[in-house]
Structure 1
Amino acid sequence: MLIRSLTLLLCPILLAGNPTNGFAQEVQITPDVVYGHKLGLAMTCDAFTPTENANGAAVLFMVSGGWYSGWTAPEQSQALFRPLTNKGFTVFAVRHGSSPRFSIAEAVADVRRSVRFIRTNAARFHIDPERIGVYGMSAGGHLSLMLGTASDEGSTEAKDPVERASDHVNAVVAFVAPTDLRIMAQDAPDRLPAYDRFPALEIDQKTAAKDSPLLHVSADDPPTLLLAGVKDELVPIDHSRKIHAAFGEANVESQLIEYPESGHGFQGDDAQKAIEATVDWFQTHLTK
């Protein structure tokens, strides 16, 4: 799913950032930044920093599809982030412990740590620690929403200074995101057969509830943009509609953009419009 999601969005982004149109901006790539360790392994992200006109805001991209997270050479993925780096955003491509070895809960913990790390090292990356956004597609959208709805201020008792920092983010964009994992769990009565393909969803409803963004919505959540395809048969649009309604009830600024002809992934004009909406959202909520 990860490769498919990236491929569906990559074509219009490549066109938007083609150097021949005089639009592309150079970036400094810092590969394999280590934001933590577990089980003797490094957890890493890649940083893409504009070399000119950086606006001081950071946007984290959740490298996740089906809660699988894989490595791609940053020079190959750079085009995916060009619409944001062209506008001055520093982008971090964050990888997490991947399914099937690691669970959804562990992936959530990993991306929480990535926000804490980047906030703690804001001066190093020349960003404002109070202007951090996050976005992702499918499982990456789910992880983005978990950061938006279930953040904390860090532990004052932690020995590790990173763990003392907040994992709060200031703006969220979620593409085709699962928001209620309970209906995807193994013991859900109307579970879709397609979910059998994803080891991360070998969980029960009680476990799923802990990492369901829909159940964590509260009035202090950041502005959130939801992008969803009406014809999505893997993550039905009700996921986005229900959390959008919950944001409304909590008086959280939120917008849902529905694409009537799209499914689980956008192509053509829908892809381009979704990218433009994403950039606009972060410009509105992260730039001074």
Structure 2
Amino acid sequence: MNRFCSRPLFCLIALFISTVSGVDRAAAQPTASRVDITTDVVYGHKHGLAMTFDVFQPQSANGAGVLFMVSGGWYSNWSPPEQLLGLLRPLTDAGFTVFAVRHGSSPKFGIPEAVSDVRRAVRVIRMRADEFGIEPERLGVFGMSAGGHLSLMLGTTGDDGNPDVPDAVDRVGNRVQAVVAWVAPTDLTILIHSSPESLPAHKNFPALDLDPRAAADHSPLTHVTADDAPALLLAGDADDLVPIAHSRRIRDEFQRVGVTHELIEFPGAGHGIGGEQLAQGTRAMVDWFRDHLLED
């Protein structure tokens, strides 16, 4: 969600890669671990289309998995896996197996469908954990902007599956054990087109043409409970697209009910966090997943 970029996820990824992997490229190359990439793993179908994720398995895997929500403006763009690997390197170098999850995209599919899709992806990954070399109860998730929103929805609305349904996938739980959300919208009711608080830039996102009840139902802020996954929030205090109030309000709710959380605020940063602030946030993200997904 970036009003200066027609392909917001691509712009965020490009900024991330250029900053994190470019800080000391020459020094980083000798220590980068080998990563095996499995592309286009199907986790479901809708309207005759396959829903897929790519798997990035480091040679020295630590047994934990992290889902990356491939989403900007609730549009899930395909990128070459080698390009995504630049974004995911800090995690794979730390031993995490990463799953780049794509969902049904706006405007064909709305936010409720995107949330449903990524929930199913968690179930499938947990169901096939042995195949991917991970522990089923060591799953984290992260995303940027709309991807951060989807990450928080997974962290605040997880369930243990329904043993009475015919689909074996739906009998598997979709809870995650850790969340990292960058510049994430947490209250859709003030972003949707019909809201008096909606900004002109929000009209550029068809996914936000949502009725108020659906917006509330798909806002992480309305679902915070004491059993939510530990959440790291990262936001810029000069973000005029998703104001930092979104992160501060859900932080306050996490604090109220006792959810483990942290909010890192970047002074002067807008919706696209860059430079040393991005590198700092990336280190914090890797540490968060280490702390909450790995055994002591």
Q: Same fold (TM over 0.5)?
A: yes
Q: Which amino acid aligns with 1:68?
A: Y
Q: TM-score, normalised by structure 1?
A: 0.97
Q: How does 1:5-84 map to 2 (within 5 A)?
A: 5-15=12-22, 18=25, 20-21=27-28, 22-51=30-59, 53-84=60-91
How many Å apart are 1:258 and its aligned residue? 0.1
Give distance in 2, aligned partners of 1:62 and 1:36: 16
Secondary structure of 1:255's match? strand
The number of aligned residues is 287
The aligned counterpart of 2:165 is 158
1:265-276 equivalences under 5 Å are 265-276=272-283
From 99, 105, 118, the equivalent of 1:98 is: 105
1:119-130 counterparts in 2 under 5 A? 119-130=126-137
How many Å apart are 1:58 and its aligned residue?
A: 0.1
What amino acid maps onto 1:228 in structure 2? A
Q: Distance in 2 between matches of 1:23 and 1:277?
A: 20
Is 1:139 aligned with 2:108? no
Q: Give secondary structure in 2 for the equivalent of 1:61.
A: strand
Aligned pair in 2 of structure 1 residues 188, 206: CA closer, same or farther (>3 Å)?
Answer: same
SS in 1 for 2:21: helix
Equivalent residue letter for 1:192: L
1:211 aligns with 2:218: yes
Quote the RMSD (CA, aligned, Å). Answer: 1.1
Partner Cα separation in structure 1 for residue 26 and residue 49 of structure 2: 37
Report what 2:260 is aligned to.
Answer: 253
Distance apart, 1:17 and its partner CA: 7.9
- 2:194–2:209 CA contact under 8 A, matched in 1: no
Conserved? CA contact 1:18–1:24, under 8 Å: no
Corresponding residue for residue 87 of structure 1: 94
Deviation beyond 6 Å, 4+ runs, structure 1: none
Counterpart CA distance in 2 for 1:69 and 1:167 is: 20
1:172-216 Cα shifts (integer Å, max 9, x gaps): 000000000000112212211111000000112222001000000
Q: How far 1:18 sits from its partner (Å)?
A: 3.6
Taking a change above 3 Å as real, the CA distance of residues 162 and 18 of structure 1, as seen in their structure-2 partners, is: farther
Secondary structure in 2 aligned to 1:182? helix
Q: Secondary structure at the match of 1:15?
A: coil
- The residue correspondences of 1:184-195 to structure 2 (distance < 5 A) are 184-195=191-202
In structure 2, the residue matched to 1:4 is 11
In structure 1, what residue type is equivalent to 2:235?
A
Deviation at 1:20, TM superposition (A): 4.9
Q: Is the 8 A contact 1:17 1:24 kept in 2?
A: no
Q: Secondary structure in 1 aligned to 2:56?
A: strand
Is residue 61–residue 92 contact of structure 1 (8 Å, CA) maintained in 2? yes
- Counterpart residue type for residue 138 of structure 2: R
Cα separation, 2, equivalents of 1:61 and 1:19: 26
Cα deviation digits, residues 222-275 of structure 1 (max 9, x gap): 110000000000000000000000000010000000001210011110110011
Cα 1:18–1:76 change in 2 (3 A) is: same
* Contact 1:183–1:205 under 8 Å retained in 2: no
Q: How far apart, in 2, do the equivalents of 1:213 and 1:192 lie?
A: 20
Query: Does the residue aligned with 2:22 lie in a helix, a strand or coil?
Result: helix
CA distance 1:17–1:47, change in 2 (3 Å): farther
Superposed displacement of residue 49, structure 1: 0.3
Report the identity percentage.
56
Unmatched runs of 5 consecutive residues or more in structure 2? 1-7
1:228 aligned residue (230, 235, 256)? 235
